[in-house]
Structure 1
């Protein structure tokens, strides 16, 4: 399944809307660089010994011992081993390949399938840190990690859910994994995390959804999972620090008819017009791009956007915005004026008909 870009057949001044795509999404999304769940508790002598061991230079021997302990029948040994691998992979990037090559991935996949919530969390976090090495992504996916990560995303602790979202994001950076992740049921729990998670959870879910929804079938899954409600709410909350991220996700989704209908149903048009009025320069550009896609084939949506008072701020943006903002706002103004021209022309023809 290929990826979709924001596109349109409508031409303005010799340029298609596909030429007006948003390409600066990288500034809106920060990648999951490593787990952010804090360091290990140091209240026990066992934890202190683990920290000291992980700080030593004798990592090969330690890695082998930790992998062996991952496969122990003793759950406490498994927890300590998963914690140790997590710490080694977090603090020393060179250890990530070493850990994977020594055979840690499959035992960790078994660990993240555990019914013990704490053990699952440690395993998910270790997998996340290992996934930060691009060379490990294929091995993690081929070792069967996707479905257990989705399970942790659904049922795990708050930290496990956030780190599972990050790990799935990392795996989704391999194109063929996007479809597999979507078909494994990741989209609904990501939408749930976007809606009810804390700030980090919302950010991680939004970033993962942005990556996954470049695939058409995942867009449909996201809309069916109810993504429009949290996206519109986050865009409406200028204090959420999520306006850009949620708008970029929406800009991917509105290429599908069901997404356009859903965003209108959730009250997205007034929110988008408000962003054009008072948002940052980048937010205004994203909002205009989304409104263009809503309006180009729908007289109803054009009328709704015009009635929300979009034309004055669009005119202002066409005069004072960046080059890209001017192009997009001018294109949208022309689209919004089409139904009026058509209606006026029809009225004129009617008035000239002799009775």
Structure 2
């Protein structure tokens, strides 16, 4: 029966509403907790299909689907994990559910799926994380769960087709203080500079946005980014980008030139001080 509901709900929106109205949601949720992996997968996939209808999302969440979906994300078949990530993404489109999903332990499991899953799993996990991390407490959870490692790895691989998605998630996370040392520790600075040099226009703009947030409050990070050779490609972007991209690139150039200017001023101050001492010695 679960298999039939899975198929019936797959392509026809009208069936999704009928099945939900017929009272199928709670029995399907109980299947998600089944110890039979195939039954669990059918239950997860049927719930995902029903969640594709906006009218069903609230009913699915209020019927207790979140915790069983998180369990499937932890121990289900590869398909069950992917579909659980998608179902949680659908449910997270209701604001109140973002917090409930975050507090149910989904974030570390989605980070793990992002790191170890196949390409579809990585896409599903990154999209779910992007949605969930619009809530501040989930941003902190994601950074503490080690999300920067897979994000940096995916951004460094231009063949992965994951550069854009990873950059969007990283950019969203930069508003929490823990994110900045995490990016640096995972080797994110050279990767971001490479994206500014060799990425698509959109990827370049996202990388500049991340670097700008990284550099805003830290001379140490500005020096690191400048030493990585970022300035020429950021200057080039400031001349060829969208108006918003130009603005961010211009702001980043100002910040990157500051450590140099400060060093020059210190050098000049040191030399003038030395000269005046020499004059006294004469």
CA distance in 2 between partners of 1:298 and 1:320 (Å): 27
Match of 2:186 in 1: 266
Match of 1:346 in 2: 266
Query: Residues 211-266 of structure 1, C-alpha deviation per residue, up to 9 Å, x if partnerless?
Result: 01111111111111111111000000000000000010000111112111011000
2:59 to 139, 159, 174: 139
Give the corresponding residue for 2:19.
Answer: 99
Aligned-pair distance for 1:345? 2.5
Partner of 2:10: 90
Match of 2:141 among 199, 221, 226: 221
Secondary structure of the corresponding residue to residue 256 of structure 1: coil
Deviation at 1:296, TM superposition (A): 0.6
Deviation at 1:282, TM superposition (A): 0.2
Q: 1:208 is matched with which residue?
A: 128
The residue aligned with 1:53 is: none
Q: Which residue of 2 aligns with 1:241?
A: 161
Correspondent of 2:253 among 318, 326, 333 = 333
Deviation of 1:285 (Å):
0.3
- The answer to which structure has the higher helix fraction is 2
User: In 2, Cα distance between the equivalents of 1:91 and 1:273?
Assistant: 43
Query: Structure 1: which 5+ residue stretches go unaligned?
Result: 1-80
Does 2:104 correspond to 1:184? Answer: yes
- Tell me, what secondary structure is at the counterpart of 2:158? coil
Cα distance in 2 for partners of 1:181, 1:191 equals 14
The match for 2:222 among 284, 302, 308 is 302
Question: Equivalent of 2:37, from 109, 117, 123?
Answer: 117
Comparing 345-354 and 155-164, the one that deviates more: 345-354
Using the alignment, how far apart are the partners of 1:313 and 1:341 within structure 2? Answer: 20
Aligned residues: 275
Aligned-partner SS, 1:115: coil
Give the structure, 1 or 2, with the largest relative contact order (CA under 8 Å, sep 6 or more).
Answer: 1
Deviations 1:186-228 (A, max 9, x none): 0111011101111100000000000011111111111111111
TM superposition shift of 1:344 = 2.4
Matches of 2:248 and 2:143 in 1, distance apart? 26
TM-score normalized with structure 2 length: 0.95
User: What corresponds to 1:320 in structure 2?
Assistant: 240
Distance in 2, matches of 1:133 and 1:335, equals: 47
Partner of 1:275: 195
CA distance in 1, matches of 2:105, 2:201: 36
- Give the corresponding residue for 1:52: none
Partners of 1:327 and 1:204 lie apart in 2 by 32
Q: CA deviation at 1:323?
A: 2.2
**1:322 positional shift:** 2.5
In the alignment, the residues of structure 2 paired with residue 141 and residue 222 of structure 1 have an alpha-carbon distance, to the nearest angstrom, of 22
